[in-house]
Amino acid sequence: MVEDLLKEMQKQVEKTISYYQSELSKMRTGRASSSMLDSVQVDYYGTPQPLKNIAHISVPEAQMIVITPFDPSSIEIIESSIISSDLGMSPNNDGNVIRLNIPALTEDRRREIIKHVHKIVEEGKVSIRNTRRDFNEKIKSMKEEGLSEDNVKRALDNVQEITDNTIKKISDLSSAKEKEILN
């Protein structure tokens, strides 16, 4: 029963890590990445669609993203969706493809991004701590159902170990992202 609870916690914290990992990967670092466009929704024939569903996205250079629509008639719609998104990039449309040039980051912008990274990482840590609290409460309620004191202590120690390891992973993600932003 306790093992099932610990496995459930492990799954939950892994989901949290992957969520924050994807949040960090979406952040602009001055280097082009197709994941920067994951949040762009295009109103394609009246239905909002993710950009990657209606166009091929490639990164031919470190500072450029090229978007090739599957349907050439949708190029203007894609362009307006990119402009209206909060990416802060202006697309260059040549009629066949859209090019996005990624400007180099200024020092002030790098600091802003790092602050945002810290905010995201802190949210991740708080989420993990909330998960720990929830599972600690579940384990303590099992004590009232007849689980021995030693097993409760061991389970609480395991929960703390999972929490510590997960927070370390999130901190490592933060450090790696900071290095990427500063270089």
CA atoms of 158 and 78, how far apart (whole Å): 49
- Using an 8 Å Cβ cutoff, are 158 and 91 in contact? no
Q: Final residue of a domain: which of 101, 123, 146?
A: 101
Question: Could you tell me if 48 and 97 lie in one domain?
Answer: yes
Please, what is the angle between helix 2-25 and helix 149-182, to 10°?
Answer: 10
Per-residue pLDDT of 111-142, as tens digits, reads 888 898 999 999 999 999 999 999 999 998 98
pLDDT in tens, the chain (183 residues): 788 999 999 999 999 999 988 888 777 777 788 888 888 899 988 899 999 999 999 999 888 999 999 999 999 999 999 888 877 778 999 989 999 988 777 888 888 888 989 999 999 999 999 999 999 999 989 888 888 889 899 999 999 999 999 999 999 999 998 888 887
Question: With DSSP H G I counted as helix, E B as strand and the rest as coil, what are the percentages for the chain, rounded to 5?
Answer: 65, 15, 20
CA atoms of 74 and 58, how far apart (whole Å): 17
Q: What is the number of structural domains in the chain?
A: 2
Task: Quote the domain boundaries for residue 135.
Answer: 2-26+106-182
